[in-house]
């Protein structure tokens, strides 16, 4: 299945921490061009976001606050994975989701915030977002 979880270094000092979330050197062609950065918020426990896949877009997610359940499914092979991602004081985890991987997130805490980088900018005239139910409401 086309996804990857990386544990990133938190550069920590008395002021706080810095995480190098995604570097151009880590992007393979055709992802070298800039896409778009989002913050995705969950305003309550058990809020569901996603339930879709992208045919042409890859995304990189990181939890900056709270905890979320992640559900993934390869739309071609139907292989499924689910796991939990948490904000942590000691490490930062980045999740890359490739093309054709349906994804959904469910908040496990009263508030959760995801950082999301998409390699393609959202275009309301052509949305590369295809509904795909993974987590029922």
pLDDT of 28: 73
pLDDT of 26: 82
Mean pLDDT by 10 residues, the chain (137 residues): 91 83 79 84 96 96 97 98 95 96 98 94 89 94
CA 33 to chain centre: 19
pLDDT of 47: 97
pLDDT of 22: 86
Spatial separation of the C-alpha atoms in residues 58 and 14, rounded to whole Å: 35
Record the pTM. Answer: 0.88
Of 36, 46, 26, the closest CA to residue 112 belongs to 46
Of 109, 108, 127, the closest CA to residue 118 belongs to 127
Spatial separation of the C-alpha atoms in residues 130 and 106, rounded to whole Å: 18
């Amino acid at each position: 299945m086309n996804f990857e979880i990386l544990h990133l270094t938190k550069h920590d000092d008395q002021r706080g921490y810095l995480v190098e979330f995604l570097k151009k050197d880590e992007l393979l062609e055709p992802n070298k061009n800039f896409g778009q950065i989002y913050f995705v918020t969950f305003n309550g426990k058990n809020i569901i976001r996603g339930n879709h896949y992208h045919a042409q877009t890859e995304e990189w997610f990181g939890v900056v606050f709270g905890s979320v359940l992640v559900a993934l499914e390869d739309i071609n092979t139907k292989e499924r994975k689910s796991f939990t991602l948490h904000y942590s004081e000691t490490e930062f985890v980045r999740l890359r989701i490739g093309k054709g991987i349906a994804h959904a997130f469910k908040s496990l805490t009263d508030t959760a915030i995801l950082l999301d980088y998409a390699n393609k900018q959202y275009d309301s005239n052509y949305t590369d977002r295809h509904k795909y139910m993974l987590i029922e409401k």
